[in-house]
Amino acid sequence: MVLSLRDGLGQFCTSSRDRLRTGRSALTTIIRANSVSDSLRPAVERTVHHNSSSR
């Protein structure tokens, strides 16, 4: 009983640590995508404005 409880606790700690690692990597990916979209936004807005004015 105590052994299985300790095993479950260890598995929970390991899974939460993995979840934390994957969450952090996803967060860095989101931040990187946001910075890329920030750098691309002026060009996209210029293209959209050009297309709408030429219509």
Helix, strand, coil share of the chain (percent; to 5) = 95, 0, 5
Instruction: Please state, in angstroms and rounded to a whole number, the distance separating the CA atoms of residues 55 and 39.
Output: 26
Instruction: Determine the residue type at 45.
Output: E
Mean pLDDT of the chain: 81
How many residues appear in the chain?
55
Question: What would the two tokens of residue 9 be?
Answer: 């606790």
Give the global pTM: 0.44
Instruction: Please state, in angstroms and rounded to a whole number, the distance separating the CA atoms of residues 43 and 18.
Output: 38
Which is higher by pLDDT, 2 or 20?
A: 20
* Tens digit of each residue's pLDDT (9 = 90 or more) over 20-42: 888 888 889 888 888 888 888 88
